[in-house]
Amino acid sequence: MKALMRMFAQRRDRRLLDRFFARYQGRTLIVHQGLTLDWLEELLKLGGGGGHFRIDIRQPPSRHSPVLWLAHRFILPLDLPLPVLCDVGPTTIAIRHLRSAGRLCHPADIAWILEDMRVRARVHATLSRHSHRLTAGLGLAVCDNTFEMDLGG
């Protein structure tokens, strides 16, 4: 009976992961527990700032929402300071928190952080897909959230 239950759970998880990656591959998510109105206004003023999907984890996980299910089941257990920036690839999710010295970064810094994640692979964690599950790999120490700005010089 346990094997049958495990098989159904694996099938459900595979479907949820399929739906998540089909919807969010090539996109960025900001997973948070509420953001201030001032911060959101600054984010939306930036070119492309509105292109980040903002996922509020104060909403309970749902089997109807693969992104909330994934955030609650895989991202929150990483125990990183919120909010986190998630860069979704075909089978991986690179994750980096948006705090430095205990403060939330300015929205303008997100482009530099994202470049640092993509070019230098400086991430706090990576979730890698293997069939019906995600496995976590750790990277930067939580206290390390510096990034380099490429000023084209």
- Looking at residue 49, its pLDDT comes to 64
Which tokens sit at 7? 């098989």
pLDDT for residue 149 is more than 70: no
What pLDDT does residue 51 have? 81
CA-nearest of 107, 105, 99, 101 to 80 is 99
**For 105-133, what is each residue's pLDDT tens digit?**
999 899 889 999 999 999 999 999 998 88
Domain ranges of the chain: 1-138
Cα-based distances in Å from 9 to 20, 21, 92, 142:
16, 18, 21, 32
Q: Which residue has the higher pLDDT, 22 or 3?
A: 22
Q: What is the CATH number of domain 1-138?
A: 3.40.30
Q: For residue 122, what is the DSSP state?
A: -
Task: Return the pLDDT at 37.
Answer: 92
Looking up tokens 């986190």, which residue turns up? 84
| 64-105 tens-digit pLDDT | 899 999 999 999 999 999 999 999 999 999 999 999 888 999
Q: Locate tokens 């609650």: which residue?
A: 72
pTM: 0.90
pLDDT digits 0-9 by tens, 14-68: 999 999 999 999 999 999 999 999 998 899 888 766 689 999 999 888 778 999 9
The pLDDT value given to residue 138: 94
